[in-house]
Amino acid sequence: MNRTIVAILRGVTPYAVLPIGQTLFDPGIYMIEVPLNSPDPFMSTKLLAEEFGAEATVGAGTVTTPDEVDAVSDIGGS
């Protein structure tokens, strides 16, 4: 079942992001956001996009510049 929930992983670290992502993905939460004010947000977003991006929407929040939009896109975020 696909649930229309956006999980916002505020403050997540790259070390913790994949287990959290799997915990969300298993019950059908397929929209995940990593705010850019989190620790190492681009690495966390990249890891999530590589692992779940084929079936989930992985993006970023607290995006404030066009360069940040491009950076998120470059690492597989949407």
pLDDT at 4: 87
Count up the domains in the chain and report the number: 1
Residue ranges making up the domain that contains 58: 3-74
**46-78 pLDDT tens trace:** 999 999 999 999 999 999 999 999 999 999 998
Residue 3: strand pairing partners: 29
- What distance in Å separates the CA atoms of residue 33 and residue 41, rounded to the nearest whole number? 10
* Contacts within 8 Å (CB) and 24+ apart, 62-70: 62/35, 62/36, 62/37, 63/36, 64/36, 68/36
pLDDT at 13: 97
- What distance in Å separates the CA atoms of residue 18 and residue 48, rounded to the nearest whole number? 6
Provide the whole-model pTM: 0.92
Q: pLDDT averaged over the chain?
A: 94
